[in-house]
Amino acid sequence: MEADMIRGKLTQKGLKVTPQRMAILEAVFSLNNHPTAENILDFVRNRIPSVATGTVYNILETLVTKKIISRVKTDHDVMRYDGVSEQHHHLYCSECDLIEDYFDDELDRILKNYFKDKDIPGFNLDNIVLQIRGTFNKC
Amino acid sequence: MEADMIRGKLTQKGLKVTPQRMAILEAVFSLNNHPTAENILDFVRNRIPSVATGTVYNILETLVTKKIISRVKTDHDVMRYDGVSEQHHHLYCSECDLIEDYFDDELDRILKNYFKDKDIPGFNLDNIVLQIRGTFNKC
DNA sequence: TCCTATATAAGAATGATTCATAAACAGGTT
DNA sequence: AACCTGTTTATGAATCATTCTTATATAGGA
């Protein structure tokens, strides 16, 4: 993820480009396993030692609101963040804290097709994310 | 949900039957909209004013571990609880904090069939819950 | 009824997240 | 290039859900 690309994501949404926002977005895009705010803070401090904890939360909130990133929550953990914009699902491990992205175009077609005709009374469907629970073989 | 039924759920799992556990299970089963620990605490205090906050969290943890109830993740809220044991999915509203249960046997058959043949490398699938995001018409 | 492992009460402690305020800054304007 | 002004960040206190510790109480088998 190039700096220019990140910069573009910010300006596109009318957000000012600041070193803190650049570093946080780079953290979310480069850290694997859906980092926590703390993971992101650690990453960012390498570049900007003076960054404030509150600033990280503040910026993450802004980025989620502007739909540049999204939140992922587990049954037990603290909030985690996801920089992947393409439609995808999540594999949750019952044994470890890894959350893996799961991409499946065929599945998405099937779901889209199924819900195209399916009316959920009183509800206006926007999108669907599968929580796929299981265990990784290595666990 | 009868008291005897709740009692049965506890003894089946080798848990002692206590007034606190009975009241908490009744709360989870009777409160709608996937109650928070606080919602449950309020309900339980009506019957047992002396109940301790820690006890509610403690018991909820036990009940989840024994798979009598489950946790529901949200992107923003605190932890919420679910007393429905049958396979089902969740409708999340983007406008309000309502989480509605969604039952769909046909969908479950389609998913089961799809993943029967589908191998997710390195992963042992256990179950799937759909997070269906959208808005209720009334919102 | 007694015994013992288990469960609960009380309230302090923790830890993630939010908030209030003052200082700093990005980016458009002159 | 320096200036403005609304936006953004730093600081550190505050909040709030949840967990932990320890002493007391209790469920249920013997």
List the single residue in B with minimal CA-CA distance to A70: B75
Strand duo B123-136 + B89-93: pairing: parallel
Between A57 and B77, the more confident residue is A57
CA–CA gap between residue B30 and residue B28 (Å, rounded):
6
Are B77 and B34 spatial neighbours (Cβ–Cβ below 8 Å)? no
Global pTM? 0.91
Note whether B120 contacts A135, CB cutoff 8 Å.
no
Q: Name the class of domain A89-134.
A: alpha beta
Residue B75, pLDDT score: 83
Residues 13-72 of B with CB under 7 A from strand D: 16-19, 36-38, 53-54, 57-58, 61
Establish if B100 touches chain A: CB-CB under 8 angstroms: yes
Lowest model confidence (mean pLDDT) among A15-19, A42-46, B116-120: B116-120
CA A55 to C1' D6, whole Å: 18
Establish if B76 touches chain A: CB-CB under 8 angstroms: yes
Residue B1, pLDDT score: 57
Residue B76, pLDDT score: 84
List the single residue in A with minimal CA-CA distance to B114: A107
What the block records as the tokens of B133 is 């995001």
Question: Which nucleotide has its C1' atom closest to residue B57's CA?
Answer: D18
What the block records as the tokens of A74 is 């587990």
Domain A3-82 is of which CATH architecture?
Orthogonal Bundle (1.10)
CA–CA gap between residue B29 and residue B1 (Å, rounded):
7
> Residue B106 half-sphere exposure, CB side, CA atoms within 13 Å?
5
Are B40 and B51 spatial neighbours (Cβ–Cβ below 8 Å)? no
Establish if B131 touches chain A: CB-CB under 8 angstroms: yes
* B132 contact residues in A (CB cutoff 8 A): 120, 123, 125, 128
In chain B, where does DSSP find H-type helix? 3-12, 19-30, 37-47, 53-65, 105-117
Establish if B73 touches chain A: CB-CB under 8 angstroms: yes
CA–CA gap between residue B71 and residue A66 (Å, rounded):
28
List the single residue in B with minimal CA-CA distance to A64: B75
Chain D bases having any atom below 7 Å from a protein CB: 7-13, 17-21, 26-28
Q: pLDDT tens across A76-126, in order?
A: 888 999 999 999 999 999 888 899 999 999 999 999 999 998 999 999 999
Nearest CA-CA partner of A51 in A62, A65, A37 = A37
CA B20 to C1' D27, whole Å: 12
Are B134 and B91 spatial neighbours (Cβ–Cβ below 8 Å)? yes
CA–CA gap between residue B128 and residue B87 (Å, rounded):
9
Residue A1, pLDDT score: 56
What does the pLDDT average to over B19-42? 96
Instruction: Indicate yes or no: strand D within 7 A of the C-beta of A124.
Output: no
- Taking the domains of chain A in order of start, what are their residue ranges? 3-82, 89-134
Are A66 and A58 spatial neighbours (Cβ–Cβ below 8 Å)? no
